[in-house]
Structure 1
Amino acid sequence: MANSASDEKSYSDLSSGRRWFLLILASIGSSIIYAPAYLKAVFYDPLQKALGVTNTELGAVFGAYAITALICYLPSGILADKIRMRTLSSVGFISTAVLTFFYAMLPNLTVLYLIFILMGVTTILIWWGVRYKLVRLVSEEDAYPKRIGLSYGIYGVAGLLIGLVSTAIVAMVGENLNLGVSIYLYFLSAVILILGILSWLFIPKFAGEIKTEGGFSLVEFTQAFRDPVVWIAAISLFFVYFFYTGVTYTTPYMTGVLGVSLAAATVVANIRNYGITLLSGPIFGWIAAKTRPSVTIAIGSLVFVAALLVMMYLPTGPSVMVIACVLVVLLGFIANGAFGVVSAQLTEGKVPLGYFGAATGLLSVIGFLPDTFSSTWFGSIMDAQTDAAGNVAASAYQQIFWILIGAAVLAAVFSLVLYLYLRATRARAEAKAETVPVA
């Protein structure tokens, strides 16, 4: 592809089919590029046993990834404003594919730490800014909440298909968990590599996507840092993300407390994490476009609290197993839906495109902070209440679920704070306009 400015494309220059392809590419990529790092969300028990680590060690390895990610979120947003989407997307995918290949070899704990730290660089510093900005570039601003919700629906399709592969592998290998985990990771490596090649071939140079003046200054970050909308949205994301990721602990709860088989729990986990996103992403996106993202998140968070309370007080046993699985899927529906429209709070607050990448970086630094401690914290809670046979007590899960309830309540509170802040600022702006004398 030529590098002349005349080759740059704007939203209107792209055909409808090209815009859809790029939306699908970014959405599928955001599902699959993080699958290796977040494998414990679906493959918790097999992964722990295949790697030969404790719950705490597994949480600590992921914590190393999360700390790296935390450091990289902000510069990733700045990179997204300075480097073209095609370059970031292709390099991020291909480098992650290489690391996933080595992860598939099931290395020792020291090498695992190294892989996860480097994966934090490739998936966050390099690739993270691509998803939201590429969706923004192929969308009209007013359509962004609907488009990002649709993007999470496509994310769900990709995740569900990949999840079906994982389920088939579990059934195929039986008790040979090491082989199953390795095969799955090799498969992910190949798919991620293909996405990298497609990114280089089909993502165009967008007009206005990068700022060429000023080098790598922090002007965009300063603008984002001073915007109250970015800060309130970031705190809202912090608590939404906390319960969004925490709901994955319903998987070991199903197998360890409710007595659900590993194969059935894997199916439910895939539906909860990905399949339900087919509906939750578009539905929450549509509701957010019709109302406001902040209100949608607040209501969804409170419904999450109610559903989790019902699940916590269900009696255990075969008679309620189906009800419990339905509740797990419902929790996933709400968590995925709320998380899917959190970034739309930036467009709700009219954050300009000029520092949108930096804003998403700051949003991520605050919003994804739970990754740095929640896995280790929850893993230690489980290990502290594990008997000699390796069984985790139901009380450990109850303790985790109460923490998630607190996070969901606070997510609702801060989303409403954003709504009230925007309403107040609009009222002040209208009042000021009315006092300006007409020439």
Structure 2
Amino acid sequence: MQKEQKLKKYLTLFALCLTGAVVYELPYLSYGYYDLMLEAFSIDNTQMGTLMSAYGLVAMLAYFPGGWIADKYPAKILMIVSLVATGLLGLWISTFPSYPILLLIYILWGISITLPFWAAMLKATRQLGDSSEQGRLFGILEAGRGLFPVFYGLIIVWIFNKLGAALGAMRGVFIAYSVLCFIGALVAFLFIKYEKEEGERQKGASGKEVLQIIKMPGMWLVALVIFSSYNMYACFSYLTPYMTEFFGLSDSMGATLYLIRFYAIGVVGGIASGFIADKTGSNARVIAIVFLVAIAGLIGFLVIPTGPANLIMVIIALFVVAIGIFMSRGIYFATIDELNIPMHLTGAAIGFASVIGFMPEAFVYTLVGKWLDTYPGTQGYHILFIYMLAFALIGTAAAFILYKRVKKQKIDQAKEI
């Protein structure tokens, strides 16, 4: 019986990893098919930027109400609705509609993905285990969401090349990722349990309860940890062009490093941080330590002299920063469990932390672009490194304070027994 329950748990986790990956593919296809999408839709760079900004803004606004919805309705239903709606919008965009319709589709994606899916997925992950398992569950979730795209992405690229890498092939890509969403909905139907919290009526957080969550100092610390980690993650992609321009890194080596840091370090780091956190009994403490690791790497970027002779040293610094960032990403939502948030308020807590934590998505790329344009040469990049370093320090402080608060809370509870 115990083996059967364990199998069901990991099948559910498999479903969460797969669906959590495929549902986000369609809005971000421009990352891999940018030029072809401009041609297919007959739009320019500014219009494409507007599409992504519209999606990002709507998604950010949807995080908090999405948390409330996740506390009101079962994750299974919400995720199936999200996947089907997102896939249908993908089929619509494969017809290459006019620009106003494109803008509408991206706005609707911001709603269909974030509102019913994000908090529901994270809450379903928390429900899979007790406090002693939260680190590994969230670590595996983050790792799985990073690993699945490698497998189905290679298949879709192969199909794309077989179709001739032209406009017709681009339509095929949209259809393929839409079908993946429908497959994800089927997987969610088969493996994600339809359940409500034991002994509680699934009604969503009341206004008073939401206010209590917002007033919790611990929740603001969790949000600040995510905000700091996401700032570093968003800036991380600029490290490769810095190495290419000032250290002689080749394009092929840059692509290789991309695969290593996102899929090797990203996957292994997420799982490792989760298991370490569960073993040591504190997600917040592990996050504080891995932020210190990132600080060491960022200092390396600031002090290592430019030039091909120092390429190996800066590659090592890159990996050190990657370890810190991806290990923190794997478990930062697991810290919510350490605050003893009731299960029926998990969605509201996730929604609040996500709104604050993912806010850099709305401004950081514009900010960094302005720095690099205004301050040519290494100066703009050094401002970027200092910015990342500042948030690594802020994140370390927030995670350490959170760890101390949780530890004190546990000691006080033990005294009361």
Smaller-chain TM-score bracket = 0.7 to 0.9
Aligned to 2:122: 132
Asked if the contact 2:19/2:188 (under 8 Å) is kept, the reply is: no
The answer on whether the counterparts of 1:294 and 1:416 sit within 8 Å (CA) in structure 2 is: yes
Deviations 1:300-321 (A, max 9, x none): 1121122123234445555554
Residue 358 of structure 1: aligned partner: 348
Gaps of 5+ in 1: 1-10, 386-391, 435-439
- More helix, by proportion: 2
CA deviation after TM superposition for structure 1 residue 241, in Å: 1.4
How far 1:67 moved relative to its partner? Answer: 2.0
Give the superposition deviation at 1:261. 5.0
SS at match of 2:237: helix
Shift of 1:415: 0.9
Pairing partner for 1:405 from 389, 392, 395: 389
Deviation at 1:199, TM superposition (A): 1.3
Structure-2 change in CA distance of 1:288 and 1:124 (3 Å): same
Distance 1:370 1:240 in 2: 10
Q: Distance in 1 between matches of 2:293 and 2:340?
A: 28
Q: Quote the Cα distance in structure 1 between the aligned partners of 2:163 and 2:302.
A: 33
2 CA distance for matches of 1:273 and 1:109? 33
SS at match of 1:200: helix
Of residues 375, 380, 390, the one that matches 2:370 is: 380
* Cα deviation code 1:344-399 (max 9, x no counterpart): 111122222121111111111111111121123223334556xxxxxx85443333
| Aligned mates of 2:262, 2:120 — CA distance in 1 | 22
Aligned to 1:188: 177
The match for 2:401 is 417
SS in 1 for 2:332: coil
Is the counterpart of residue 159 in structure 1 residue 144 in structure 2? no
Q: 2:239 aligns with which of 245, 250, 256?
A: 250
RMSD (Å), alpha carbons: 3.7
Report what 1:271 is aligned to: 260
Asked if 2 retains the 8 angstrom alpha-carbon contact of 1:223 and 1:355, the reply is no
Identity percentage over the alignment?
A: 26
Q: For 2:125 and 2:365, locate their aligned partners in 1 and report how far apart those are by CA, in whole Å.
A: 30
Aligned-partner Cα distance in 1 for 2:15–2:108: 23
Equivalent residue number for residue 111 of structure 2: 121
What do residues 277-300 of structure 1 show as CA deviations (whole Å, max 9, x unaligned)?
221011111221123111111111
Q: Does 1:230 align with 2:228?
A: no
Give the match for residue 270 of structure 2.
Answer: 281
Question: 2:71–2:204: 8 Å Cα contact kept in structure 1?
Answer: no
Name the SS of the counterpart of 1:341 in structure 2: helix
Number of aligned residues: 414
Greater displacement, 342-351 / 314-323:
314-323
1:34 maps to what in 2? Answer: 24
Q: Which residue of 1 aligns with 2:230?
A: 241
Q: Residue 129 of structure 2 aligns to a residue in which SS?
A: coil
SS at match of 2:341: coil
TM normalised by structure 1 equals 0.80
Aligned CA distance change for structure 1 residues 178 and 277 (closer, same or farther; 3 Å): farther
Q: Which residue of 2 aligns with 1:96?
A: 86
How far apart are the structure 2 equivalents of 1:215 and 1:263? 50
Asked if 1:302 corresponds to 2:286, the answer is: no
8 Å Cα contact 2:204-2:344 kept in structure 1: no
Shift of 1:20: 1.0
- Structure 1 range deviating more: 266-275 or 224-233: 266-275
What SS is found at the alignment partner of 1:205?
coil
Give the distance between the partners of 1:170 and 1:405, measured in 2 at CA.
40
Maintained 8 Å contact 1:276/1:332: yes
Unaligned runs of 5+ in 2: none
In 2, the alpha carbon distance for the partners of 1:265 and 1:170 equals 23
Shift of 1:401: 2.6
Give the letter for the 1:410 counterpart. I
1:43-58 paired onto structure 2 within 5 Å: 43=32, 53-54=44-45
Letter paired with 2:269: S
Change beyond 3 A, Cα 1:47–1:258: farther
1:437 aligned partner = none
Distance of 2:261 and 2:169 partners within structure 1? 21
